[in-house]
């Protein structure tokens, strides 16, 4: 094959306002600013990636992601994008942490390499079959009656798993979950996510009472840094415990497993730093006997599509929290990629190379940086 190299990189801002504020124990999201990266090779192909900053979960902001990319992008310019593992390792040698910025580059590299080989990313990652991926839908914190009504409407729309955000007040959280279970009936899977909102004692108190409502698991019942506390809760909880904010990296997964802190691990591409590190986390969990969930932040349907490809490639992912990019204002990919239909994320064309993007709404993007081999950074227009 002819010599291939990353010749140019473009960085954009993508801002959108949520039609409905999304409230969790850590706070309320009303708008998002995503960082979108386009990597161009010397044969005219373009790979797309996305960073979804979160100050409280990922420790980054849009400005810090842009600053990180100023250091990271020069490390891939001029390189053969097919050397993905080498390049991802190189990014870690350039800059510590900054997982969201690294995720944007990892995703763009995978999309580009899929196009080079003419293969979908799910197959490059080891998947054997592309079928619709069943997903839950998350109900944010609200009054119990409103949460119940939203959950009922979601089930009517075809979702067979509902995730309920809790972690604000244990007594009210019990009322919320009870209301949702009564609204959706017994045949629908029910998950809860406390987003670090409870103390150890509150978690055990709430989970003991919530066990009668058929809750399949609880995500992150206590603060992320309190792995010993999560292990303490797990020993006393009638409901299995899933680590989320406690596990960002493969090393974090090892630590949580060794401490007996969880039954499951939620993998997010933005926490892991992209698809390659996400696969490493899944491999560690598989061999430790812990199934995984694939989840995400408040993202566009660009990175949501990448998460779908990951789900299709990884048998250890048995829970799918992929209600990502479903809002009209987050539909950055106009044609191609993945979309939710009848409770499932479905690829528009499972055999399309890369992530299968046909049209990106470039008019929604604000250019902020351009990088070219041998040239300095040029600000966007």
Query: Helices then strands (H, E): number in the chain?
Result: 12, 18
pLDDT at 25: 84
Is there a catalytic annotation at residue 268? yes
Quick one: 212 and 304 in the same domain? yes
In a domain, 242, yes or no: yes
Q: Is 345 left (phi over 0), alpha (psi -120 to 50) or beta?
A: beta
Question: 32, 102, 163, 165: which one is catalytic?
Answer: 165
d(CA 215, CA 238): 10
Quick one: 133 and 114 in the same domain? no
Quick one: 150 and 189 in the same domain? yes
CATH of the domain at 52: 3.30.390.10
Quick one: 203 and 141 in the same domain? yes
CB burial of residue 33 (10 Å; 0-12, 13-18, 19+): middle
Quick one: 245 and 315 in the same domain? yes
In a domain, 322, yes or no: yes
Quick one: 10 and 74 in the same domain? yes
The DSSP bridge partners found for residue 137 are 162
- Among 159, 148, 154, smallest CA distance to 183 is for 148
Give the HSE-up count for residue 286: Cα atoms under 13 Å, Cβ half-sphere: 11
Quick one: 250 and 335 in the same domain? yes
Quick one: 367 and 353 in the same domain? no
Overall domain count for the chain: 2
In a domain, 114, yes or no: yes
| Residue tagged 């227009």 (tokens) | 381
d(CA 107, CA 113): 10
Question: 32, 102, 163, 268: which one is catalytic?
Answer: 268
Quick one: 92 and 149 in the same domain? no
Quick one: 309 and 372 in the same domain? no
Quick one: 28 and 106 in the same domain? yes
CB burial of residue 310 (10 Å; 0-12, 13-18, 19+): buried
Helical residues (DSSP H) of the chain, grouped into ranges: 62-76, 84-94, 99-117, 121-124, 144-156, 170-184, 200-210, 227-236, 250-258, 269-272, 275-288, 301-313
Quick one: 169 and 135 in the same domain? yes
Give the HSE-up count for residue 138: Cα atoms under 13 Å, Cβ half-sphere: 26
Gap between the terminal Cα atoms of the chain: 36
Instruction: Let me know: does 224 contact 268? Beta carbons within 8 Å.
Output: no
In a domain, 295, yes or no: yes
pLDDT at 381: 41
Q: Which domain holds residue 278?
A: 124-358
Go through 164-182 and write b for each residue having 16 or more CB atoms within 10 A of its CB, e for each that does not: bbbbbbbeebbebbbbbbe
In a domain, 174, yes or no: yes
pTM assigned to the model: 0.96
In a domain, 1, yes or no: no
Is there a catalytic annotation at residue 165? yes
In a domain, 186, yes or no: yes
d(CA 263, CA 234): 8
Q: Encode the chain (381 residues) as per-residue pLDDT tens digits.
A: 579 999 999 999 999 998 888 889 888 898 999 999 999 999 999 999 999 999 999 999 999 999 999 999 999 999 999 999 999 999 999 999 999 999 999 999 999 999 999 999 999 999 999 999 999 999 999 999 999 999 999 999 999 999 999 999 999 999 999 999 999 999 999 999 999 999 999 999 999 999 999 999 999 999 999 999 999 999 999 999 999 999 999 999 999 999 999 999 999 999 999 999 999 999 999 999 999 999 999 999 999 999 999 999 999 999 999 998 888 999 999 999 999 999 999 999 999 999 999 999 999 999 999 999 877 565 544
């Amino acid at each position: 094959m002819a010599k291939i190299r990353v010749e140019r990189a473009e960085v954009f801002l993508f801002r959108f306002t949520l039609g409905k504020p999304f409230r969790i124990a850590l706070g309320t999201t009303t708008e998002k600013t995503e960082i979108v990266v386009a990597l161009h090779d010397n044969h005219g192909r373009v790979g797309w990636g996305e960073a979804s900053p979160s100050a409280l979960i990922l420790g980054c902001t849009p400005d810090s992601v842009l600053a990180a990319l100023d250091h990271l992008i020069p490390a891939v310019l001029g390189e053969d994008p097919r050397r993905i593992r080498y390049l991802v390792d190189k990014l870690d040698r350039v800059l510590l942490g900054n997982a969201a910025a690294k995720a944007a580059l990892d995703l763009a590299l995978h999309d580009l390499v899929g196009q080079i080989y003419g293969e979908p990313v799910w197959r490059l990652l080891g998947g054997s079959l592309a079928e619709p991926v069943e997903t839950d839908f998350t109900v944010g914190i609200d009054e119990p009656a409103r949460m119940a009504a939203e959950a009922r409407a979601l089930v009517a729309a075809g979702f067979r798993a509902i995730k309920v955000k809790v972690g604000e007040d244990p007594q009210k959280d019990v009322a919320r979950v009870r209301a949702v279970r009564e609204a959706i009936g017994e045949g629908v899977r029910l998950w809860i996510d406390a987003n670090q909102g409870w103390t150890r004692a509150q978690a055990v108190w709430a989970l003991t009472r919530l066990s009668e409502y058929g809750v399949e698991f609880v995500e992150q019942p206590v603060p992320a840094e309190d792995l010993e506390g999560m292990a303490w809760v797990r020993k006393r909880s009638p409901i299995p415990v899933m680590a989320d904010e406690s596990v960002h990296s493969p090393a974090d997964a090892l630590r949580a497993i060794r401490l007996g802190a969880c039954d499951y691990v939620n993998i997010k591409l933005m926490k892991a730093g992209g698809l390659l590190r996400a696969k490493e986390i899944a491999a560690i969990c598989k061999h430790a006997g812990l199934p995984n969930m694939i989840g995400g932040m408040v993202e566009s349907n660009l990175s949501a599509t990448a998460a779908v490809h990951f789900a299709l490639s990884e048998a250890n992912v048995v829970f799918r929290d992929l209600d990502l990019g479903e809002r009209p204002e987050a539909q950055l990919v106009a044609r191609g990629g993945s979309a939710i239909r009848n409770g499932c994320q479905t690829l528009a064309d499972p055999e399309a190379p890369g992530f299968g993007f046909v049209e990106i709404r470039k008019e929604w993007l604000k250019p902020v940086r351009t990088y070219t081999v041998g040239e300095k950074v040029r600000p966007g227009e």
